[in-house]
Amino acid sequence: MPLLTTLAGDALNAYGFSRGAESAGAFELISTTILGSSATSVAFTSIPSTYKHLQIRASARTDRALGVDSFTLRLNSDSANNYYSHLLFGNGSAVTATSLGANNIIYAGRTTDSSNTANAFAQNLVDILDYALTTKNKTIRSLFGADTVGGYPWQGIHSGVWNSTAAITRIDVLPGVGPNFVTGSRFSLYGIKG
Amino acid sequence: MPAGVSAITPLANLTLGSAQATITFSSISQAYRDLILVVSPIATTTGNAGRLRLNGDTGSNYSWVQMYGDGTTAASSQSTSSTELIGLQSETTQTATVIHITDYSATTKHKSVLSRSNNTNAISTVVNQRWANTAAVTSISIYMTASTTYAAGSTFALYGVSA
């Protein structure tokens, strides 16, 4: 019996960081939003289906007043309870593993908020795999960090699933509580070829 | 940015031909949105760790929170006042770390540094850090604790991400 078997429908992609000059590559910018004023959400719309995977890179802060907020996603405007999330994170003293579902959003990371040190924003890097494939439910994985002196420090990894085989054409990024992302928050969407 | 053009641009690439104590990326272009630092170092002695500083800042202006597992234990720790950034696993065999610095050129934000790292002693870590300074990042210095050195064959690569 081979140690490694391939199931039908599996995808295995490998990407390398180039050592040379810039060229036509596999990682392309689709859209960037930098907030000039507070906003209740940020939307990536009319997402082209020509890539293999998507990545969101965000630097975000909300106006909640707790010390931390959540960074969440809604796909194709589906607000039904079709999302499940799994969280593994550390808060500086303990590691927590938990799951959330069924929900009407995916919990993809954390943000800082108005109780945190001024000028402190949280990083969220979210990968959405096979987003245009109509034979798979959609999965995400994320790496995030919200270092918040005066609040709750958090960093960790999340995973999530949207129980739909529809190709993703729209992503709404929402604060968990908010109600708003604040000025300066930045959200960039990239397409990864495969 | 036009379609068909990569949003990740190599900025600098170094493979050590001999042992070196400090590696510095300087005069970093401000033309990008994020930086990605890919480091695969080899330490000349075991038991020490890699560190970073931004813009040569040696003050207590860094804070960090980390989560790590060593095959038997998962734990988290933090520091709210540090003189350096952490998170570069180092061993006498090759290790791997990818570090993201988002909005490195934004002068309205403290700088966020997010990394994943592992070494051959079966330690895997995730670290989130903040440099409490709104200055644009123009240099990154990488060094080892206890004044030890990186060995020949260590690789350090810096990339700019457009947005």
How far is it, in rounded angstroms, from Cα A189 to Cα A44? 8
How far is it, in rounded angstroms, from Cα A187 to Cα B10? 22
Most B CBs within 10 A among A15, A29, A144, hence the mutation to make, goes to A29
Each residue's pLDDT tens digit, B33-80: 999 999 999 998 887 789 999 999 999 999 999 999 988 999 999 998
Most B CBs within 10 A among A53, A91, A142, A147, hence the mutation to make, goes to A147
B33 interaction partners in chain A (CB closer than 8 Å):
32, 57, 186, 188
Q: Which of residues 59-118 of A touch B (CB under 8 A)?
A: 59, 88-95, 117
* pLDDT confidence of residue B114: 96
How far is it, in rounded angstroms, from Cα B66 to Cα B88? 12
* pLDDT confidence of residue A153: 76
What tens-digit pLDDT sequence spans chain B (163 residues)? 666 678 999 999 999 999 999 999 999 999 999 999 999 999 988 877 899 999 999 999 999 999 999 889 999 999 989 999 998 888 888 889 999 999 999 999 999 999 999 887 778 999 999 999 999 999 999 999 887 899 999 999 999 999 8
How far is it, in rounded angstroms, from Cα B129 to Cα B77? 12
B159 interaction partners in chain A (CB closer than 8 Å):
17
Cross-chain Cβ contact B66/A90 below 8 Å:
yes
Q: Which residue of A has its CA nearest to B12?
A: A19
Strands B34-40 and B74-82: unpaired
Global confidence as pTM = 0.92
Angle at B50 between CA B44 and CA B53, to 5 degrees: 135
- Give A3's contacts (C-beta < 8 A, 6+ positions apart): none
Nearest to B127, CA basis, from A125, A156, A122, A116: A156
* pLDDT confidence of residue B66: 93
Backbone phi, psi, residue B145, to 5°: -70, 165
Residue A49, chain B, CB below 8 Å: the answer is no
How far is it, in rounded angstroms, from Cα A181 to Cα B76? 28
How far is it, in rounded angstroms, from Cα B105 to Cα B63? 19
Cross-chain Cβ contact B128/A154 below 8 Å:
yes
CA distances to A38, A71, A162, B13, B68 from B21, in Å: 45, 39, 47, 17, 26
Sign of the Cα torsion A177, A178, A181, A182 reads negative
Nearest CB to A94: which of B76, B103, B109? B76
DSSP calls for chain A: --S----TT---------SSS--S-SEEEEEEEE-SS-BS-EEE-S--S-SSEEEEEEEEBB--SSS-EEEEEEETT--SS-EEEEEEEE-SS-EEEEEEEEESSEEEEEEB-TTSPTT--EEEEEEEETTT-TTS-EEEEEEEEE--TTS--EEEEEEEEES--SPP--EEEEESS-S-BPTT-EEEEEEE--
What tens-digit pLDDT sequence spans chain A (194 residues)? 333 333 333 444 556 665 544 445 799 999 999 999 999 999 999 999 999 999 999 999 999 998 889 999 999 999 999 999 999 999 899 999 999 989 999 999 999 999 888 899 999 999 999 999 999 999 999 999 997 655 567 899 999 999 999 999 999 999 999 999 999 999 999 999 98
Query: Contact, A124 vs A109, CB < 8 A?
Result: yes
